[in-house]
Amino acid sequence: MIDPVTLAVLKGRLEQIADEMDATLFRSAFNPIIAEAHDASHGLYDARTGETLIQGKSGLPIFVGAMAFAVKAVIDKVAQDAARAGGALSDGDVFLFNDPYDGGTHLSDFKLVRPFFRDGRVFCYLASVGHWHDVGGNVPGNYNPVATECYQEGMLIPPVKLFAAGRLNQDIVDIVMANSRQPRSLYGDLNGQINALDLGAQRLAALLDEMGAATVTEALAELKARAARLMRANIAELPDGTYSAEDWLDNDGIVDAPLRIALDIVKRGDTMKLDFSRTAAACAGPVNIARSTAIASCYVALKHVFQDVPANAGCLEPIEFAIPENSLLSATRPKPVGGYTETILRVIDVVFQALAAAAPHKVNGCAYGTINALSLAGHRKNGQRWVMFSFFGGGHGGHPEGDGLNHGNAPISTATIPPVEILEAAYPVMFTQWALRPDSGGPGRARGGLGAVYEVTPLDGEADAFLFAERGRFPPRGVCGGGDAAMNGFRFEQDDGWHAAPMASKMVGIRLKRGQRLRIESPGGGGYGPAAERDPAKIAEDVRLGYVTAEAAARDYGPNAK
């Protein structure tokens, strides 16, 4: 059996390989969503099952679960090819694809999967995923709120060999570049991912040379087993029972009616069943997600609650999932899935809400619950096409140890909000406001963090605006007696004045002239614990800092606000 010191050393070395792959892509990508916001991830995956072995700490947690399905899709593809044509996997092969129904998430997330050979056999797979700037479809930036099938959201590429035995298939590169409004950006991101995999292979080969393949294999198996044991131990501490929650999406962008996401957690001993049977059926618009994405989002939520469990496949061993076919959470082609971020955030919210009764000492209020995906597109004065895609922050929920984070990134990821300076330098836009939003955090013993106010206008003539968001009608919830946060708000200027978003949180093709502004007021986070229990000194400090107005303090905190 591997000794604890060797295991700790190998854990650090393996994580460092994934971290270096992350850093390589972040430093070389052309696209600010990867280079600045870090919307990407790298890891090592099991040679037989595709399960996550190691993931970089800087990448997106949502990809931990989703990328295991992506690697398994490549493993299945290899088996099919071998059966049909007698072909074999070769050292130097690299597969490229973005099929969201096999690999999870949405069409913007392109995956590169590379088998790593040792002594003539596949030791593991290295994989890279990154959010490319534009991959075709009806809407620049690909967040199309009125898509009714995946083909309106962008190009869909199944697993294909980008490299065969180390030889590049230039035809594939030409095809994907021809289907993007930003081919130069795409080309840079693709090469960044290729280089990240090259570095990962070099680092892993050096580690195996030093420590031996048998020792590293034993360490990976033990890390998975420890994750499973830790998750079982955490679950066992909770009282047995059934814990339920439900929350809502504003609409699907096509039919202006709310969609329910409902969860029943059945906890018995050291196992847990997450049952989503009461969730709405698959819908017409692009807020569906694939089953793999639903499982990945549950993983992220559980990792927030059970923070000591390592990030590998072992943490899901004690978990059973009940997700019916044709559910909002188990969509199949060609149901649109472009707005997957909004739905997985709601899945995370219902996990928090359901576990609040079982583990009040571990959960937090719901975060702002939307990425506010905004695309602006137009032409520069020289006729060159430009496309700005970005997401925006909001408040995190209050928690047992204190107030929620102001203006944070979405809890599905470690992606950072692109800095205003980067956006203004890269695109012909100007932000006329970028500030915290007072009174947006939910009241509670621990207050929810504040959302933000953003205003942006084009500088080079006209631009078309597209917005894909949520929480325009259903606020982020507080837990354990905490209050709800403020809802999302959207307005845009036209010649006749200001207008609201026609479907509360989604807009398509709004034409903005130079100087006309689009305004987003993002939600805060839900509160934790009863507002009556908040320390009066903290209330006074909130008012002094402008986080809470005197009027809101008197309304929400009563006598404690004096």
DSSP for 160-176, please give it.
Answer: EEEEETTEE-HHHHHHH
Stretch (H or E) spanning 117: strand 109-118
Would the pTM of this model clear 0.95, i.e. be above it?
Answer: no
Q: Which three-class secondary structure state does DSSP give residue 458?
A: strand
Contact 337, 253 (CB under 8 A): no
What is the structure's pLDDT at 343?
A: 96
How far, in Å, CA of 313 to CA of 275, rounded? 20
Asked if the structure places residue 237 within a domain, the reply is no
Asked if the structure places residue 242 within a domain, the reply is no
How far, in Å, CA of 56 to CA of 161, rounded? 24
Side chain identity, residue 502? P
Q: Which domain holds residue 181?
A: 4-227
Q: Phi and psi (nearest 5°) for 485?
A: -90, 175
How far, in Å, CA of 109 to CA of 213, rounded? 32
pLDDT of the chain, 562 residues: tens digit per residue: 789 999 999 999 999 999 999 999 999 999 888 888 788 999 999 999 999 999 888 877 777 678 888 999 999 998 887 777 656 799 999 999 999 998 778 999 999 999 999 999 999 999 999 999 899 988 888 888 889 999 999 999 999 999 999 999 999 999 999 999 999 999 999 999 999 999 999 999 999 999 999 999 999 999 999 999 999 999 999 999 999 999 999 999 999 999 999 999 999 999 999 999 999 999 999 999 999 999 989 988 998 899 888 888 888 999 999 999 999 999 999 999 999 999 999 999 999 999 999 999 999 999 999 999 999 999 998 889 999 988 899 999 999 999 999 999 887 765 578 889 999 999 999 999 999 999 999 999 999 999 999 999 999 889 999 999 999 999 999 999 999 999 999 999 999 999 998 889 998 889 999 999 999 999 999 999 999 999 999 999 999 999 999 999 999 998 777 6
Contact 341, 296 (CB under 8 A): no
Question: What sign for the dihedral angle of Cα 302, 308, 311, 317?
Answer: negative
Asked if the structure places residue 150 within a domain, the reply is yes
How far, in Å, CA of 176 to CA of 30, rounded? 16
Sheet strands side by side (includes 121-131):
52-55, 40-46, 121-131, 109-118, 94-97, 160-164, 167-168
How far, in Å, CA of 19 to CA of 42, rounded? 8
Paired tokens of 393: 């922050």
Best CA proximity match to 222, nearest among 45, 380, 530, 7: 7
Asked if the structure places residue 91 within a domain, the reply is yes
Asked if the structure places residue 215 within a domain, the reply is yes
How far, in Å, CA of 149 to CA of 50, rounded? 28
> Of 227, 251, 273, which closes a domain?
227
The residues pairing with 390 across neighbouring beta strands, listed in sequence order, are 374
8 to 5, 46, 77, 416, 427: CA distances (angstroms): 5, 20, 35, 29, 45
| Residue 151 CA neighbour count, 13 Å, CB half | 1
Residue 96, class by beta-carbon neighbours within 10 Å (0-12 exposed, 13-18 middle, 19+ buried)?
buried
Asked if the structure places residue 539 within a domain, the reply is yes
C-alpha torsion 187→188→193→196, nearest 10? 140
Q: Which three-class secondary structure state does DSSP give residue 141?
A: coil
In 217-344, beta strands by DSSP E: 241-249, 259-268, 271-275, 319-322
What is the structure's pLDDT at 22?
A: 95
Provide the number of structural domains found in the chain. 2
> Of 227, 246, 272, which closes a domain?
227
What is the structure's pLDDT at 414?
A: 55
Paired tokens of 289: 């997600």
Asked if the structure places residue 338 within a domain, the reply is no
Q: Phi and psi (nearest 5°) for 434?
A: -155, 90
Contact 453, 435 (CB under 8 A): yes
The residues pairing with 394 across neighbouring beta strands, listed in sequence order, are 408
How far, in Å, CA of 323 to CA of 305, rounded? 21
Q: Tell me: cis bond preceding 318? Omega within 30 of 0 counts.
A: no
> Of 227, 255, 276, which closes a domain?
227
Asked if the structure places residue 450 within a domain, the reply is yes
Within 153-290, residue ranges assigned H as helices are 170-178, 183-211, 213-236
Best CA proximity match to 467, nearest among 370, 336, 394, 380: 370
- Mapping DSSP onto H, E and C, the string for 334-362 reads CCCCCCHHHHHHHHHHHHHHHHCCCCCCC
What is the structure's pLDDT at 87?
A: 65
Q: Phi and psi (nearest 5°) for 92?
A: 100, -5
Strands 463-468 and 385-390 come out as unpaired
Contact 29, 194 (CB under 8 A): no
How far, in Å, CA of 55 to CA of 19, rounded? 8
Residues 6 or more apart whose Cβ sits within 8 Å of residue 387: 133, 134, 140, 141, 181, 182, 375, 376, 377
How far, in Å, CA of 64 to CA of 412, rounded? 11
Which of the 8 DSSP states describes residue 218?
H
Sheet strands side by side (includes 271-275):
241-249, 259-268, 271-275, 319-322
